[in-house]
Structure 1
C-alpha cells in the first residue's frame, strides 16, 4: 500500500474528513487529496504533520513501521537499530563513523535521520 492510500485509509478509519485533516495539519484540502490519490508525494515535514494529526508514525505511513500508535515518536533504541540496518553498506558505515559519537545522539536526532532515510528509500523505490 502506498503512502497516500495509508493516509486515506487511516483518515477514514478515524472518521475524519479532508477538511478536518486539513485543519489539523495546515495542509490544503486539495494537496491532501492529491497525496491520497497518489498524484503528489508529501515532503518529510508534511508527512510528519500528517502522522501527528492521525496519531501514528511516519514509519507506518511509509509502509515500514508498526501500525497506528498513540505517539508519532519512535523509541530511541528502535531508531538506532533501524539506522544501523539501513546503513549496512560499508561505504555508508564509513560516513556514519565520520559523524563521530552517533551513540550520543539524542532520540530526536536519531529519529530525524531515520525518517529521512526511510523517505529516501521510498522515493527511490517509486522511481523503479
Structure 2
C-alpha cells in the first residue's frame, strides 16, 4: 500500500507530466483545487487556478521538443519539493528568453502543498537559461 507521502509525490509527478509537458487541462482540473494559490506566480499573472491554466497554455506550447527531467523529489507532511529541468527549443519569447529556434533550459525548484489529494499551494524558484 502506498503511503500518503508517496501518493503526494505521484500527484506532483502527474501534474508535471500531464499538465506541463502535455498541456492537459482535463488533468489540471482533476489535480488542482478551485481554491489553489500560486504564491510565486510569474509577473503579469494572478495567483489563482484560472491564471495557472492561462500561463500553462501560454508558456509550455512555446517549448518545442519539450523534455522533463525530475532530478529529485522530497515529500514531508503535506508538501512536496521538486527539483526539475525542462529542456527544448524556444518557439516564442518566454520568461526572459528570446532566442527563437534555439535550445533553452528552464530549471525549477517547486514546493507544492497538497490538500485532500489535490494542489492547494505553490511556491517556486525558476531559472531560464539560453546560450
Q: TM-score range by the shorter chain?
A: under 0.3
- TM-score, length-normalised on structure 1? 0.27
Structure in which a larger fraction of residues adopt strand: 2
Structure in which a larger fraction of residues adopt helix: 1
Give the greater-gyration-radius structure (CA).
1
